[in-house]
């Protein structure tokens, strides 16, 4: 699933006011972090992730690995923050950032 520039712009606007839901710390991409990422994507569809590493390449690799393991699409990265998207099969209107912000 590839996002068009218009879709990316729309998703970036929705994500602007969101706080990071997942924070990747010193332990890296642990099993618990993967489970929490799955839960967050199922509930919210569009989320922000913060990668606390100071190395730019390590941050990009971590974000790429998270997207690949979860099947999510990268919308945007700015510094240590990444916005990713994965559509839910049955989105919850009370939790989904996409449905709540339209």
Domains of the chain, start order: 5-85 (3.30.110.60)
pLDDT band of residue 102 (cuts 50, 70, 90) is low
* CA 23 – CA 51 distance, rounded (Å): 6
Q: What is the mean pLDDT of residues 22-39?
A: 90
Put simply, whether the predicted model's pTM sits higher than 0.85 gets the answer: yes
Give the CA distances from residue 61 to residues 20, 22, 53, 66, in Å, rounded to whole numbers and listed in that order. Answer: 18, 16, 11, 9
The per-residue pLDDT for 29 is 86
pLDDT band of residue 39 (cuts 50, 70, 90) is very high
Pairing of strands 46-51, 81-85: antiparallel
């Amino acid at each position: 699933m590839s996002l068009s520039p218009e879709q990316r712009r729309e998703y970036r606007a929705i994500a602007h006011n969101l706080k990071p839901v997942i924070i990747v710390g010193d332990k890296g991409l642990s099993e618990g972090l993967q489970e929490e990422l799955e839960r967050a994507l199922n509930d919210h569809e569009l989320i922000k992730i913060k990668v606390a590493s100071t190395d730019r390449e390590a941050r990009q690799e971590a974000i790429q690995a998270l997207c690949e393991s979860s099947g999510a699409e990268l919308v945007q990265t700015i510094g240590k923050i990444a916005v990713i998207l994965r559509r839910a099969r049955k989105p919850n209107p009370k939790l989904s950032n996409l449905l709540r912000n339209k």
